Chains A and B, each alone.
Chain A
Amino acid sequence: MPHSTAPGPMRPEEVDEDDILPDAPQQVSDHTKEEGKTDMTDSASQSEDSTSEAPRIDVKVEDLFDDADDDEEDEFSGSRVLNPGNESSPPEAPLPCAQSAKYTDPEVMLAFYQRLFPFRYLYQWLNHSMKPSNDFGHREFAFTLQNDAYLRYQSFPTGDLLRREILRLNPSRFEIGPVYTANPRDRKTLRKSTAFRPMAKELVFDIDLTDYDEIRTCCNKANICHKCWSFVTMAIKVVDAALREDFGFQHIMWVYSGRRGAHAWISDKRARNMDDQKRKALAGYLEVIKGGAQSGKKVNVKRPLHPHLARSLDILREHFQRDILEDQDPWAEPEKAERLLRLLPDKVLNDSLRKKWDAAPGRSSVSKWADIDALAKTGASKTLDGRALLEAKQDIVLEYTYPRLDVEVSKKKIHLLKSPFVIHPGTGRVCVPIDTKRLAKFDPLGVPTVTELLGEIDAFDGQTTEESDVKKTQDYEKTGLRPYVEYFRTYVAGLLREEKGVKRERETGNAMEF
């Protein structure tokens, strides 16, 4: 009689709810180590209570195994400071900007939140309306405090209340999660766990240059330069085109992740409402580069090329010539050239290429790429299949240029992603939106750091003698953050305009049924 002898599932009261991890704080940084993305897979139902006094930490075994060592140790890990403002209320007077301070100083962070962070537009962006609604009120925020404690399931009725709490806690960064079916703060009081589910979230994408380490030659790990930033530029172009043309999305915002990548946030209603299965489908549609360290050829696409791939190839071809062959020069050394040969189909042709390249050490990737067609034309191989060669070359272009997305981030509604405009703890740079109309001009190394910005406010205030001018001008307008905030404002206005239209349409549509 299995039903009477089998051990029953653990009853709720047997569960040790107060399971605070004694040695957790040093582990939690793993959560957010990778550019602020967090795997919260099915943690909603087994979460810690983050609203209590002591910060509790939500730990999942897979998170704990996150690679601290694969990611260059974040600079801030050695300088953990307990936040002195933690218990006090927000200061009344504007904080001095403390120009000499380091960006990891809590006062610097607090001044940034107080004077520069665009809470108003962030609220409108997430709320899709000026009027308070559940789109914002039931939205999860997660804070990483200065002592690295991690608070999940924070929620706020309005943007102003979010601002106040951020000024009180002064987190080193924070993340945005889904809109839940109920207020995240109430989740423990709900009778049924099924009553608390993620309901909607922006569709998000994550591009991280560390995923390009096997093909970028200029830098590795957390380092970037202008040469390798072009990988991100290419990725944005390809993904943005597919999202707009194929999926019909219009409200797409790209955000610099503060160091070595970019995030996309898609706010179209249709995108926000997609369930995980549809998110997975969309991610699969975009995913081309597949396989681990041992999987060999990483691009295996069908012919004829799907229109999405044909279009991507058109976008990427010129980048391949300039950004890959010239700037990355990926096949300069003989052993790297072997990698190229392994991706080509004809053994005889490969032999003659190898011979030619052995005779000319240091031959550039540009020349080597040109050699392929040149030798093929001379009839170096009798067995050569021209079509197979062409397709192999297309695959190589894709392998070296096509976006390498971290698709896991896109597949789940419940994933949290670092908020735009927070400060990257490793670089001090602001996670600013990227204007895709000026994509080529975007310079990640020129993005303002928090200390620069605070210095600009001081400089402005010092130069302007008229007291009234200082008052009239908003702080962000005094700084290099201005174009980014203005871009965000315009973008959000467009989103709100459309939401309003959608809503009105729905309301009148309903009215006609009666």
Chain B
Amino acid sequence: MSVAHDHDHGAHDAHHHEMSFIEKYIFPTDHKYIGKQYMFTGMFMALFGGFYAYVFRMQLAFPNMSVPFFGRVSPMEYNAAITQHGTVMIFWVAMPVLIAAFGNFLIPLLIGADDMAFPRLNRLSYQIFLVSAVVLIASWFVPGGAFGGAWTAYPPLSADARYSLTPMGSSMWLIAVALEFAAFLLGGINFIVTAMNGRAPGMKWNDVPMIVWMICIASILFMASVGPLVAGAIMLLFDQNLGTNFFDPRRGGDPILWQHLFWFFGHPEVYVVLLPATGMCAEVIPVFARKKLFAYDTVLYTTIGTGVLSFFVWAHHQFVAGIDPRMANVFTITTVLISIPIAEMVFLYIATLYGGSIRYTVPMLWALGFIFAFLIGGVTGIYLGASGADIYFHDTYFVVAHFHYTFFPIAFIGTFTGFTYWFPKMFGRMMNETLGKIHFFGTMISFNFIFLPLFATGLGGDHRRIYNYNNFPELATPDLQNLRILATVALLVLIAFQFIFIYNTFYSMFFGPISGTNPWKATTLEWTTPENPPGHGNWPPDNMPTVYRGPYEYSVPGREDDFWPQNQQS
């Protein structure tokens, strides 16, 4: 046990103590390795999420055709595909990649520590996450099929197998989600504690790189919002399997209770995934504008303000669920208010660009792309927040387009920003710029062609939970159908461009040019490791970094270099 230890030699002992094969190669405790495990598990799950999107988009564009690689899509399969697409993308792609993968990889490196505060807890968190993914995938193949009650799992549909027709699928879905929550609660505690206590000597709170703040604040938001839904998940599980009556009105339950529990979590959750993505922009933009992040403190305060406000907007998802109209007014006001700090943050990033010497590297392109795309998502959110307008917009493709202009930038553009930026630190090699740019433009253009048409079909009346629009004469018009086909074709193009990314990733990982430890000439601590990629412990235990200044000292007048690393004394 550890107490009797001489702390300074802790890192050495790691090399000496006996490790089994599994401990050493399959489940090590090194934070960089666990981060990569999360990263690749998340990207692997994204393949499923993308495949489901392909299946249901094909059905919408070409109703009742036999979809290549899938076959004819039945109504049950269609519902399952939509449900699992949403679930996978939010809980098994955005969360593990943005929070867990980048959090694990970056937090110790950026605060100048050798590992997480609790490495074995960290490994346990990944193992639970892996089990949750296995349970979810297994639920697609059980008798009755996968759960098809949408990612929001509203009762009564989700509460009783007689309605959902998926007796095993619904419960396994719920168990998988609950396990996933447990994994991220453990991971979050680790992140927060590590960032609070494990910082390098000299690193004050305003020397902490923004991405660390963002991931920690996101973890706190997650922790503070998910509790009621954990309780709700237990209650729903009892409704499904014991016959309790929490949520099913036929048995005296209250379905609106679930909606409150779900959205009390669900709205903060969108900021949970948003914050890491904006954090990546905050790291990448100063490096490639060679300019200090504009108004560090204000970025931080807007983030905290957004986080606090995000707990008071949830009922904007329930404007037409029968809530009191006076309540709707309150939630309209809070929803409009929350756009203020978010807009402010966007302005601060643009102000960082102003007057900088901008370099359009691949990570920079992604960061700029994020700001552009997210802006459309945020602005359309304000329309939806007005309860009067939302009576018409609710549950149409306008909402679908809105949240994809937020989630796609977050989950994919944000990830590509961070991934292409830290790739040299993760694998020690550079990615191919040309392929990276082709991938960037291909993805951005096709992404817009998927979701711009959906704003139009939503305004044209497309309800979002319809299997075949031919069954609705007023919606089966060629105008609307052409837009649906356009969106589907654009999706196929977008998927095709991802193969370039996959190729670039794996090719560069093994054959890319060696990057050196600081290819971007950046100031934060991860670029100061003696080895690249950093070895176990990141720095030699007797030579851990000390911090002398803030993270964004670029183009400081009077200095020869245009960057001033945080650990350089003078």
Q: Do A and B come from one complex?
A: no
- Which residues of B approach A to under 8 Å, CB–CB? none
- Which residues of A approach B to under 8 Å, CB–CB? none
